[in-house]
A = this chain, B = another copy of it.
Amino acid sequence: MIQIGIAGSSDPKPLEKAEQKAREFARELAKHDAILLTGGRGGIMRVVSEEFSKLGGTVVGILPEKAEGNEFNTIKIKTGMDFVERSAILVNSSDVFVILGGGVGTMIEALMAYNLRTPLVILTDTGYESDELEHLAKEGYFDHKKIEKVEFTNDPKEAVEIALRLAKA
């Protein structure tokens, strides 16, 4: 089954706009056969996991160190590694990766996906700094190596659609 990874702010109280879009993304994704992978912690990650698991989906949390993570992880992977290193395992394990709005940790995961050649969809207009990635990506690429074209959309339903298409490619 397709493994869809997401990244988003771990802020305990995420920005309302980002949270709403994340919930909509999760409900839309739950209509399809897919396994959800997240960094396993709070904020946007928790919100997406809540919606997705309430609708019967399986959530895999890739956790830093021996953290237990949020209560909606169906499966917990305890990496024993710091939060930045464990991000690479999350991205590596994803057939496609979706950015749902966040700060520096989220932006690192976006750039990792590009660098590791994992197809990448970035949801914009979330209010978070990750929105700026659209300016950083000239013609859809983060650097001169043009590793893999990044897709941007401000619509969470379209983000699901693009993600499923790219994962199947």
Residues of A in contact with B (beta carbons under 8 Å apart): 1, 3, 35, 58, 60, 62, 65-66, 74-85, 88-89, 91-93, 103-105, 107-108, 111-112, 114-116, 128-129, 132, 135-136, 142-145, 147
User: What are the residues of chain B within 8 A of A76 when measuring CB–CB?
Assistant: 3, 93
Task: List the B residue with the shortest CB-CB distance to A136.
Answer: B132
CB-CB nearest in chain B for A143: B103
Are the CB atoms of A85 and B74 closer together than 8 Å?
no
Copy number of this protein in the oligomer? 4
Question: In the bound complex, do residue B89 and residue A80 qualify as a contact, i.e. CB atoms below 8 Å apart?
Answer: yes
State whether A66 and B92 are in contact (beta carbons under 8 Å apart), knowing that A104-B147, A112-B108, A144-B129 are contacts in the complex: yes
Which residues of B are found within 8 Å of A114, using beta-carbon distances? 104
Give the residues in chain B near A3, CB-CB below 8 Å: 75-76
**Which of chain B's residues has its CB closest to A132's CB?**
B136
The reply to whether B115 and A75 contact each other, CB–CB distance below 8 Å, is no
Given contacts A92-B80, A142-B103, A143-B104, contact A60 B75 (CB under 8 A): yes
**Residues on the B chain within 8 Å of A132, using CB:** 136
Q: How far is the CA of A3 from the CA of B61 in the complex (A)?
A: 13
Complex Cα distance, B60 from A1, in Å, reads: 12
A110 to chain B, nearest CB (A): 10
Q: Specify which chain B residues have a CB less than 8 angstroms from the CB of A79 in the assembled complex.
A: 89, 92-93
